[in-house]
Amino acid sequence: MKLLAGCPNCGRTLQLSLSAADRRIACPACGRKFKVPDMRDLQKALSVADAAKGAIYVDENGNVDG
């Protein structure tokens, strides 16, 4: 399963592993650091991903889309 996070600065979609959850990462495009939502937030993401059978998309505010 892939975890996708949108950079809040440049909007680039970063492909992450689930181990990046609840950590601060740096965008490779612009260098902006931002927080990846933690697994509590990702619980709903995982249920979305189960339904979608694909990647899950999160943003800095913990919003989740399938």
Q: Specify the residue, 8 or 62, whose C-beta has the smaller distance to Zn ion.
A: 8
Residue 20-59 contact track with Zn ion, rule CB under 5 A, x = bound: -------x-xx-x---------------------------
Q: Identify which of 66, 57, 65, 59 has the alpha carbon closest to the alpha carbon of residue 4.
A: 57
Q: Parallel, antiparallel, or unpaired for β 33-35 and 24-26?
A: antiparallel
5 makes contact with Zn ion (CB under 5 A):
no
| Cα dist from 14 to 35, 44, 56, whole Å | 12, 19, 11
Q: Specify the residue, 25 or 46, whose C-beta has the smaller distance to Zn ion.
A: 25
Summarize as ranges the residues that interact with Zn ion (CB under 5 A): 7, 9-10, 12, 27, 29-30, 32
